[in-house]
Chain A
Amino acid sequence: MDKVKKRITDAYLSFCLADEIFALHVSQVRKILELVDITEVPRTPDYMRGVINLRGHVLPVLDLNIKFGLPPFQSTKTSCILVIETELDNEAIMLGILVDSVQSVLKIKEEQILPPPSIGKKFKTDFISGMTRVEEKFYMILDMNLILKSNDVFSIKDIKKVRESVENENNNS
């Protein structure tokens, strides 16, 4: 009984974005949509790609590539929109993020999740709530809440470096 209460599920959905692999807890993921036409909203920040019609509701779609300091998202055969639920100023909101591809559902136990790496103050890594290794692969768990709140651009290069350093550390140990 206690176990059921403690964690309803430890499943995470992994996806590929900007050549890195990220994961989100499945409770945050509402839907996976095919790429559709996005209506641009003029005079908004670039990373706010626009809005789409989700069954009669207006859903904002974000381009995290821009937030990561990369050129805008390019659609491919595998790209899709991940509809996720998160919080902004204590209010639940739904939004879509553009991803290159959705990979798989992973079982990750809570104790397997390592705290976000803090290699000095050199890199901004606070949009990652944790890292984990499943079958020799590294996944970064995104903290959407922080991404939305912050106006900063997070550099994907930093992310890469952080991931590599953690990888090395783990491989050595």
Chain B
Amino acid sequence: MDLPSEFKTKFVNEALDNITEIEQILLELELTPDNNNHIESIFRGLHTLKGGGSMFGFNKLSEFTHHIETVYDLVRSGEIVLSQRIISLTFNAVDIFKKLLVTDEDILQTVSEQCNEIVASFREIVDLKKEERKLQQKENSVHDSSEDNLKEATATYYIHFYPGKNILKNGTNLLYLIDDLLELGEGFVIPGLGEVPDFNEINPKQSYIYWDIFLATNKEVSEISDVFIFVESESTLEIHKVSNTNLFTSEQFVKTLNEIASRNNPINLPSVKKLVHKSQSVNKTEFKSKTKGNKGNKKYEIDSFNNHNSNNSVRVSTEKIDVLTSLVSELVIVQEQLNLISAANQVPGLQSATDSLQKLTSQLRDGILNMSLIPINSLVVRFQRLVRDLSSKLGKKVKLQIEGGDTEIDKSMIDNLSDPLLHIIRNCIDHGIESPQVRNAKGKPETGHIQLKAFYSGANVIIKIEDDGQGIDLYKVKEKAIERNLIDANSDLSDQEIMNLIFTSGFSTSENITQVSGRGVGMDVVRQNINAVKGTVKIDSEKNVGTTITITLPLVLSIIDGLLIRVFDSQYIIPLSVVEHIFFKESLSLDQSIQEIVEFKGTKIPFLNLRKELNVDAPPPEIMQMIVINHHGDFFALAVDKVIGKIQSVLKPLGKLYDENKYFSAATIMGDGSIALLLDTNALVYAFDSKILVN
């Protein structure tokens, strides 16, 4: 059966989320192996993966997951203890899950072997533990109190399960569900054939059978209903707790059940009640109809049931968000138009209505833009995993700390960041952090620290990765660069220039090419990727103290608050987020300033005259306005003809033809249909740098 591919894609996406979650919990579980909640969560995740896998035709995945689920079921019930080995194996399994999410037969074939290996290793563990347990049980058989305890928690449930007629269409094998159910405890299944039509009328694609099941288990009701999680929307499912004891211990009960089954009598709740009452002469039944299901509309009265997914979110395709974003962009343009009209015409009430609308538009705009932002935390699991795997492989002790993980950046940027960050962290572990012995000798703590800090700074997001490793040996870098013919042997380079050599392609300081890193294709690719999203990378390092890599990214927002300015006869926009202050200055005094420096709040800061920068020859107005720009804490000023005011601007790319242009990163369409260019203040800083160099 082939399902439409969109469902498959959806499943794959969800499964990937699920796998990531399992991975994350595993990482936590490794630190606290006796946390039952975590074990439960992993089991649940595996179960969902298995169910979904079989439903959407990922049979291999489903089968494989089943084996691991079995192991965790044993862990959960305390039959085997969660060991480091199991966790490691599960990590391997998690990697395989990801591979199994493809439909390519060839790939599946190759993965298949790995699957079998892992399953075999798991089986080994389970068999071993079971044997141990058997021995233990023999020893414990004298003190039977433990078994009694177990029995006490066992309750008997009556489950009425009537699958919808079309249940077979989604590929469910109903008998597996029953098997799953019986794995939970002791049970008795009575199939109901009463609704099966005459042979001639049977449609083989439909299901007619229902089941009445008595189950004695020590599991929660939620676990029973979990078994049916993928079919419940189409089925009638009733789960009633009929007794707080295991009724199967009563011979009378079993006998009656057999009788009922052989007579094919219809079973309903009252008859069950009667039956239970008869079999339970001593225990008072606490009879509570816990769940009551209606076809396709299931209402749970159990509070805890729906709680395991407290994260309330809706999965929306990026296209939908893009459509909304472009609609809001148009709205913003129309709003600016309206602002113009309202200012030009003094119509009573128009101004206040426009103002209210303006407020709503801004809120709507911020809301929409916020939707496509993703916290950096979403990448963290992968980093933690890398640190875990790599440090154990290299025999180093490394701890990764994340600060500011809730800093949000655009989704497209997250995708571009993942590889560079992984590479940087890999470098930190491989080249930066020393082995515990070396660290001891140096008087450093054995465990190396890598700190990933993310924070906003003006119109930028900054990500800093700091390690406390051996740092970069500039002398070695230079030697290597000379050896590789990247620089001339006699060249006189500043420290920063030498440091930047690391970003040249074909450069690697590692003496041996390790499997981990050191192929010399690293840092240049990192820089390329980051430059591709208009970001910059910087390295600072101090020998034996550590290395800091700073990535600066622009906040790519498609709509920003801007400051509209005028230079000669053109209008430009500066992102309002970088504007610190505005003041007046006579243009004559600017011309006379030799070093192009003005005073601002008692300090001297450099300034750029935009008229000069933009090649305008006409004489400037007598009074210029100075805009103080905050560039990551450094200040500089821009001299402009006039500040016009604040504007909401929808940024439009200038297109490929203007790729080489550095000063303007985008343009915006104004309320009157004209175009204003967005000044890229980061690029303006480079103008300073080159100027200072020239001077």
B425 in contact (CB, < 8 A): no
Known: A39-B675, A51-B675, A89-B656. A58 touches B661 (CB 8 A): no
B673 in contact (CB, < 8 A): yes
| A89–B614 alpha-carbon span in the complex (Å) | 29
Binds A, one of B32-40, B144-152, B662-670: B662-670
**Could you tell me if A39 and B570 are in contact, using CB atoms closer than 8 angstroms?**
yes
**Could you tell me if A51 and B667 are in contact, using CB atoms closer than 8 angstroms?**
yes
Residues on B with beta carbons closer than 8 Å to the beta carbon of A166:
none
**Could you tell me if A41 and B330 are in contact, using CB atoms closer than 8 angstroms?**
no
| A89–B655 alpha-carbon span in the complex (Å) | 13
What DSSP secondary structure best describes chain B's contact surface?
mixed
| A148–B676 alpha-carbon span in the complex (Å) | 25
Residues on B with beta carbons closer than 8 Å to the beta carbon of A59:
655
**Could you tell me if B614 and A60 are in contact, using CB atoms closer than 8 angstroms?**
no
Name the residue on B nearest A44 (C-beta): B661
A53 to chain B, nearest CB (A): 5
Total chain A interface residues with beta-carbon distance under 8 A: 23
Q: Which of B322-347 contact A (CB under 8 A)?
A: 329-330, 333
| A39–B668 alpha-carbon span in the complex (Å) | 11
Name the residue on B nearest A61 (C-beta): B657
**Could you tell me if B654 and A43 are in contact, using CB atoms closer than 8 angstroms?**
no
Residue in A42, A48, A53, A95 whose beta carbon sits within 8 Å of that of B673 in the complex: A53
Residues on B with beta carbons closer than 8 Å to the beta carbon of A43:
613-615, 661-663
| A144–B664 alpha-carbon span in the complex (Å) | 25
Q: Which of B628-659 contact A (CB under 8 A)?
A: 652-658
Known: A39-B570, A58-B652. A44 touches B658 (CB 8 A): yes
Q: Which of B578-628 contact A (CB under 8 A)?
A: 613-616
Name the residue on A nearest B664 (C-beta): A41
Residues on B with beta carbons closer than 8 Å to the beta carbon of A53:
669, 673-675
A56 in contact (CB, < 8 A): yes
B12 in contact (CB, < 8 A): no
A45 to chain B, nearest CB (A): 9
Known: A43-B615, A43-B661. A60 touches B654 (CB 8 A): yes
**Could you tell me if B667 and A60 are in contact, using CB atoms closer than 8 angstroms?**
no
| A43–B572 alpha-carbon span in the complex (Å) | 14
Known: A56-B330, A56-B333, A58-B675. A41 touches B615 (CB 8 A): no
Residues on A with beta carbons closer than 8 Å to the beta carbon of B663:
42-43
| A132–B667 alpha-carbon span in the complex (Å) | 40
Size bin of chain B's contact surface: 20 to 34
B677 in contact (CB, < 8 A): yes
Residue in A37, A40, A56, A60 whose beta carbon sits within 8 Å of that of B655 in the complex: A60
A91 in contact (CB, < 8 A): yes
**Could you tell me if B667 and A58 are in contact, using CB atoms closer than 8 angstroms?**
yes
Residues on A with beta carbons closer than 8 Å to the beta carbon of B613:
42-43
Q: Which of B496-542 contact A (CB under 8 A)?
A: none
**Could you tell me if A41 and B669 are in contact, using CB atoms closer than 8 angstroms?**
no
Considering residues A37, A39, A40, A58, which has the most beta carbons from chain B within 10 angstroms of its beta carbon?
A58
Known: A41-B677, A42-B663. A58 touches B656 (CB 8 A): no
| A40–B615 alpha-carbon span in the complex (Å) | 12
**Could you tell me if A37 and B674 are in contact, using CB atoms closer than 8 angstroms?**
yes
Name the residue on B nearest A40 (C-beta): B570
Name the residue on A nearest B660 (C-beta): A44
Residue in B570, B615, B657, B673 whose beta carbon sits within 8 Å of that of A93 in the complex: B657
| A43–B662 alpha-carbon span in the complex (Å) | 9
Residues on B with beta carbons closer than 8 Å to the beta carbon of A57:
652
**Could you tell me if B615 and A42 are in contact, using CB atoms closer than 8 angstroms?**
yes
**Could you tell me if A60 and B570 are in contact, using CB atoms closer than 8 angstroms?**
no
B675 to chain A, nearest CB (A): 4
| A88–B667 alpha-carbon span in the complex (Å) | 21
Q: Between A and B, how many residue pairs show CB distances below 8 Å? A: 67
What DSSP secondary structure best describes chain A's contact surface?
strand
| A53–B674 alpha-carbon span in the complex (Å) | 7
A24 in contact (CB, < 8 A): no
A52 in contact (CB, < 8 A): yes
Considering residues B614, B652, B656, which has the most beta carbons from chain A within 10 angstroms of its beta carbon?
B656
Known: A42-B663, A56-B333, A58-B652. A88 touches B657 (CB 8 A): yes
Name the residue on A nearest B615 (C-beta): A42
**Could you tell me if B655 and A93 are in contact, using CB atoms closer than 8 angstroms?**
yes
**Could you tell me if B654 and A51 are in contact, using CB atoms closer than 8 angstroms?**
yes
Residues on B with beta carbons closer than 8 Å to the beta carbon of A39:
570, 667, 674-677
Residues on B with beta carbons closer than 8 Å to the beta carbon of A58:
652-655, 667, 669, 675
**Could you tell me if A148 and B673 are in contact, using CB atoms closer than 8 angstroms?**
no
Residues on A with beta carbons closer than 8 Å to the beta carbon of B656:
88-89, 91, 93
Residues on B with beta carbons closer than 8 Å to the beta carbon of A52:
675
Residues on B with beta carbons closer than 8 Å to the beta carbon of A42:
570, 613-616, 663
| A40–B658 alpha-carbon span in the complex (Å) | 12
| A44–B664 alpha-carbon span in the complex (Å) | 10
A149 to chain B, nearest CB (A): 11
| A91–B654 alpha-carbon span in the complex (Å) | 15
**Could you tell me if B674 and A60 are in contact, using CB atoms closer than 8 angstroms?**
no
Q: Which of A27-55 contact B (CB under 8 A)?
A: 37, 39-44, 48, 51-53
**Could you tell me if A41 and B654 are in contact, using CB atoms closer than 8 angstroms?**
yes
Residues on B with beta carbons closer than 8 Å to the beta carbon of A48:
657-658
B660 to chain A, nearest CB (A): 8
| A93–B654 alpha-carbon span in the complex (Å) | 11
Residues on A with beta carbons closer than 8 Å to the beta carbon of B614:
42-43
B656 to chain A, nearest CB (A): 5
Residues on A with beta carbons closer than 8 Å to the beta carbon of B662:
43
A91 to chain B, nearest CB (A): 6
Residues on A with beta carbons closer than 8 Å to the beta carbon of B669:
53, 56, 58
Residues on B with beta carbons closer than 8 Å to the beta carbon of A56:
329-330, 333, 652, 669
B541 to chain A, nearest CB (A): 36
Name the residue on A nearest B670 (C-beta): A53
| A48–B658 alpha-carbon span in the complex (Å) | 9
Interface residues of A (CB under 8 A from B): 37, 39-44, 48, 51-53, 56-60, 88-89, 91, 93-95, 148
Known: A51-B677, A93-B656. 11 other contacts (CB 8 A): A40-B570, A42-B614, A42-B663, A43-B613, A43-B615, A44-B658, A52-B675, A56-B333, A58-B675, A93-B657, A95-B657
Pairs of residues from A and B, 9 with the lowest C-beta to C-beta distance, nearest first: A42-B614, A39-B675, A58-B652, A58-B667, A60-B657, A53-B669, A93-B656, A53-B675, A88-B656
Could you pull out 17 A-B pairs where Cβ atoms are within 8 angstroms? A37-B674, A39-B570, A40-B570, A41-B664, A41-B677, A42-B570, A42-B663, A43-B613, A48-B657, A56-B652, A57-B652, A58-B653, A58-B655, A59-B655, A88-B657, A89-B656, A95-B657
